[in-house]
Amino acid sequence: MVEKIYLAVDLGAESGRVMAGIWNGKTLRLEEVNRFPNGGVHLGETFRWDVMRLWAEIQNGLALAGKKYGQQIVSVGADTWGVDFVLLNKQDEILGQPYHYRDARTRGALERTFRKVPRAEIFAQTGLQFMELNSLYQLLAWKQNSPALLDAADTLLFMPDFLHWAMCGAKRAEFTIASTSQFVHPLKRNWALPLLKKLGLPTHFLPKIVPPGATLGKFRKSLADRTGLAGVKVVAPPSHDTASAVAGVPTANTGKANWAYISSGTWSLMGVEVKKAALSPRALALNMTNEGGIDGTYRLLKNIMGLWLVQQCKRSFDAAGKKYTYAELAALAAQAKPFRSRLDLNDPRFNNPPDMPKAMQDFCRETKQTAPKTAGELVRCAYESLAFKYRETLQSLEELTGEIIEEIHIVGGGSQSRLLNQLTADACGRPVVTGPVEATAMGNLLTQVRADGELGSLAEMRAVVRRSCQVERFEPQKPR
């Protein structure tokens, strides 16, 4: 068959890229078209996203793809991190510079909110893990700090929905990204309007929710002219990057809960794929989350502070003139003495400290542990803390599902850390299968392939991943 090309716009907290998926009817080959840095921008006392620069980089990538692949390109879809959003007024002007989820304005928001609506009631209406960065608390901060702008808002678009609007003009909320907000009902699969009204928040700007795989329209003429992509469709993939990553897991056990995934990057998202949201008092007590997945599934998972720890350590090392690559840091960690200290990854001091190594060292001293000093010791401490958190989360998932998890799939950029992979297998006592690194792009692109009529089921999509990508297996070793 003639090869078809699909494009994924994949934005992470540290970088973004436009990826091409070349489909030959059996396998999907990925080619990177444009990669660019991402990250928050300090503005006054706030922390924001520079969405105009991101959109400019995306347009550059689309234009490069147009020159390279031309009429072979069928569709484009975007995925990003969760919770953050853009507000548009009736004239489609952006209201304010969009906030970064690590902005300090939501600190203390949980307790303030629980005084109005009990924790258990919020969980029953949303099924989501309680984190101050969730969209619900961001909206409450808007109401407190900028009520006039909130009142002027006509449309709320989560980050990938905003990119889809920029591409084709559609104002829709894709289900998986909307489900990260903590104001989508986990059973009705629609906005939790009674909760928002009880908190005094407006609801008029919430768009219609659509499922992953929905066709949103064709490129705006002006964008098509600039990029040479006339007639290209915009298809909503699982627009939360973790939802796309889970769709791209190469498991042969679709429909079963006997495997777990870890989407490993700035965040580690560890969970299982289930058919019904877990809303029991025990799920609430364990602070688990039920985020939307493809084909009506839910991702019962825990959001875990992931390789953000290592990324911020690297930033501090760079600032001090000690420039390491991530591979060099992993090698130093492998040489460091094991099991000297362990972090509580729920401690808010690690959210966005000015100096991550100091924050880690202060925590260890305060908890009477040996404080890591060298770069290798700091990274090893981060890895081991993550591995033990994965073990704890594995036990919670098995308790809630009643299933024994037989295998853990690690996908995403963090799957390249062989030391962390082995530590995870050892701590959890389960085999770990790693890869693909580009699971998010694979899930995004294969959803578009399916929307184009080339594939029929999620199981078929995952079979394509197995045919297209190599994986590596780590067996648990005896604990030292």
Largest CA distance in the chain: 64
Residues tagged active-site: 241
| 7: Cα separation from own chain's centroid | 19
Measure the CA dihedral 176/179/185/186, to 10°.
Answer: 60
Q: What is the DSSP letter of 374?
A: S
Instruction: Judge whether 75 and 444 are in contact, CB under 8 Å.
Output: no
Q: What is the DSSP letter of 217?
A: E
Measure Cα distances from 471 to 216, 248, 288, 396, 427 in Å: 34, 12, 28, 26, 20
Measure Cα distances from 1 to 23, 125, 367 in Å: 9, 48, 62
Instruction: Judge whether 125 and 195 are in contact, CB under 8 Å.
Output: yes
Cα angle 265, 269, 272 (rounded to 5 degrees) comes to 140
Around Cβ 291, how many Cβ atoms within 10 Å? Answer: 31
Rounded CA separation 338/410 (Å): 22
